[in-house]
Structures are given as C-alpha cells and as structure tokens.
A and B are shown apart, each in its own frame.
Chain A
Amino acid sequence: SQTIHQWPATLVQPVGSPLSLECTVEGTSNPNLYWYRQAAGRGLQLLFYSVGIGQISSEVPQNLSASRPQDRQFILSSKKLLLSDSGFYLCAWSPGGDGQYFGPGTRLTVT
C-alpha cells in the first residue's frame, strides 16, 4: 500500500530564515505530487504540483519554490520566510486519476 510522509510535523522559524519541507511517497512510482497551504478561514490553496521529476507548475506567485529531485520526493523551500508564510502545509499525491491523498501536514509558525 502507498504511504506519504512529511517532516517536520511542526516548525517555528524567525522571519527572514530559510525553509525546507520534505515530502516522500512510498509504494508507488511516478505519482503526481502537490503542495498545499491551509490558512484559517481560507481553505486549501494549491501552491505547486508536479507530474514528473524536474517538472513543477506554480499556481500562485509567492515567496516559495518547489523542487522534485527524485520520483517520490517533493520539497518546498523558501530563501527568506515572511510572517504571511505561516500556515499548515500539506503534501498530496495522486496516481494521475481518481483523487488525491494527503500527508499528515507540517504546521509552520513564522515569528
């Protein structure tokens, strides 16, 4: 069966510091991968998605970037965090068809 991992689970970072969140999927190959941010009262916002290694689509211009160095690894990064980057970050995968399956999430607080 497939499983999706995210780490860290929680993170507190000062404004201006860098960020790296990692997501890995097990038990499948060539998944579509997604990064979402969930802020209170605003719902799930798609940030990036990838259909293959090195292929990244950005949905919203922002202070973040994404990379996919391996088939089942998806990384969300920032060079300098802003207060507005605080939120709950979710990684998801799909086999390309029916539904997306989410990881446990990372709670990021920028202070």
Chain B
Amino acid sequence: EDQVTQSPEALRLQEGESSSLNCSYTVSGLRGLFWYRQDPGKGPEFLFTLYSAGEEKEKERLKATLTKKESFLHITAPKPEDSATYLCAAPSGNTPLVFGKGTRLSVIA
C-alpha cells in the first residue's frame, strides 16, 4: 500500500536553530511530492512541489529537497512565526493526494 510518512511528529527548536523535517514515501511512479504549511484552525497553505530526485526549491527560510525515497524540508535559522504543522503529500494511484500526518514545529524565542 502506498504510504506517506512524516517524522518527527513534533519538533521543538530554539530560534535560529536549523533543522530538517522528513517525508518518506512508498508511492510507486512518483507524480509529484507536495509540501504544505498549516496554522492552527486554518486550511493548509501550499509551499512547494517537487517532481524529480535532486530537485530543490526554496522560499525564505525553507528549502525542500527530494530523493528517490524521501523528501526533506530544511528550515534555516527559524523564527517563532515558522511555528506550524508541515504536511507532505503525494498522488497515489487514482487518489489525487495522500497526506502524511504532519510534523508539528514549535520555534521558541
């Protein structure tokens, strides 16, 4: 069964402490790997799409990378406003997107 698994479930960082979030997938024939940010009580906000191994995309302090089996969301020198849940997702068969359960990031000033 195709799966999208995120780790860790929760991550607590000091402001300025860089780290990475992991998204591993077992979807065959990857047709895109998507990253979203979700703030409490709000809908997910689209961040990035990656299509092929070796691809990288950046937005402010975030950089997403993709290998054949996993994707990383690198957060450089995070600020408290980066606190949110980060979701990854991939198409699977006839399902448009299968989501991981997310990583809840807390950045402490």
A binding-site residues for B, Cβ under 8 Å: 32, 34, 41-44, 46, 49, 57, 59, 90, 92, 94, 98-105, 107
A90 is contacted by which of B43, B94, B98 (Cβ under 8 Å)?
B43
Which residues of chain B from 21 to 35 have any CB-CB distance to chain A below 8 Å in the complex? 32, 34
A residues within 8 A CB of B54?
A: none
Q: Which of A34, A43, A46, A57: most chain B CB closer than 10 A?
A: A43
Which residue of B43, B49, B98, B102 is within 8 Å of A105 (Cβ)? B43
* Count of A-B contacts judged by CB separation below 8 Å: 46
How many chain B residues sit at the interface, stated as a range, is 20 to 34
Chain B facing A: main interface SS: strand
Are A98 and B32 within 8 A (Cβ)? yes
C-alpha gap A51/B17 in the complex (Å):
43
Closest 8 pairs between A and B when the two form their complex, measured CB to CB: A102-B43, A44-B99, A43-B101, A99-B46, A102-B44, A105-B43, A98-B49, A43-B99
Contacts A102-B45, A105-B43 aside, 16 further interface pairs with beta carbons under 8 A come to A34-B96, A41-B101, A42-B101, A43-B102, A44-B89, A46-B98, A49-B96, A59-B95, A90-B43, A92-B43, A98-B49, A99-B34, A99-B49, A100-B46, A102-B43, A107-B41
A100 touches B99 (CB 8 A): no
Q: Verify if B108 is at the interface (C-beta below 8 Å from A).
A: no
Give A43 to B102 CA distance when docked, in angstroms.
7
Q: How far is the CB of B51 from chain A (nearest CB, A)?
A: 9
